[in-house]
Amino acid sequence: MAITNKRSHPRFDSLNLLAYFVYDAEGTMIQQGMGRTLNVSQSGILLETHISVDSEHEIALSIGLEENLVDIKGKAVYSKAGKNGMFETGIEFLEIDEAQKSVLTEFIKAFEAQQT
């Protein structure tokens, strides 16, 4: 049986360091730390961290993409145990301004060109 990809945007492997801040429903920051991207798309990112992020929480990310720093708000869609005691969390982007979106788009285009 064939598996179909239900993602609206292709994901590209990407290892970039980032800072993250986790907020509860009231907007109070409850966790923060450093992590790294595992892959990225126009609509989301797979994040590797030392902690599990609850899917009820929003997360703010500051990602270093080449010489640019991109700030994105998102929501944890899932979090699961990964390798070496780390956690992998799927983040769906919620808020991204046009300037940040432009940087992200150029970054993704560069990855796409490398894979073709």
Average pLDDT over residues 49-63: 89
Q: Which of 9-18, 21-30, 106-115 has the lowest mean pLDDT?
A: 9-18
Is the predicted pLDDT of residue 115 greater than 70, yes or no?
no
Is the predicted pLDDT of residue 75 greater than 50, yes or no?
yes
Report the length, in residues, of the chain: 116
Whether the CB-CB separation of 50 and 113 falls below 8 Å is answered with no
Average pLDDT over residues 6-31: 76
pLDDT (tens digit per residue) in 87-109: 999 999 887 788 878 877 777 77
How is residue 42 annotated by DSSP? S
Strand runs labelled E in 1-116: 12-13, 17-23, 29-40, 44-49, 58-65, 68-81, 87-95
Is the predicted pLDDT of residue 16 greater than 80, yes or no?
no
Whether the CB-CB separation of 12 and 111 falls below 8 Å is answered with yes
Token duo for residue 92: 């769906």
Whole-angstrom CA distances from 101 to 66, 67, 70, 91 are 14, 15, 8, 16
**Confidence label for 15 from pLDDT (cuts 50, 70 and 90):** low
Any idea what the Cα angle at residue 70 is, between residues 51 and 12, rounded to 5°? 70
Listed by start position, the domains of the chain span: 12-114
Report the CATH superfamily, name and number, of domain 12-114. Answer: predicted glycosyltransferase like domains (2.40.10.220)
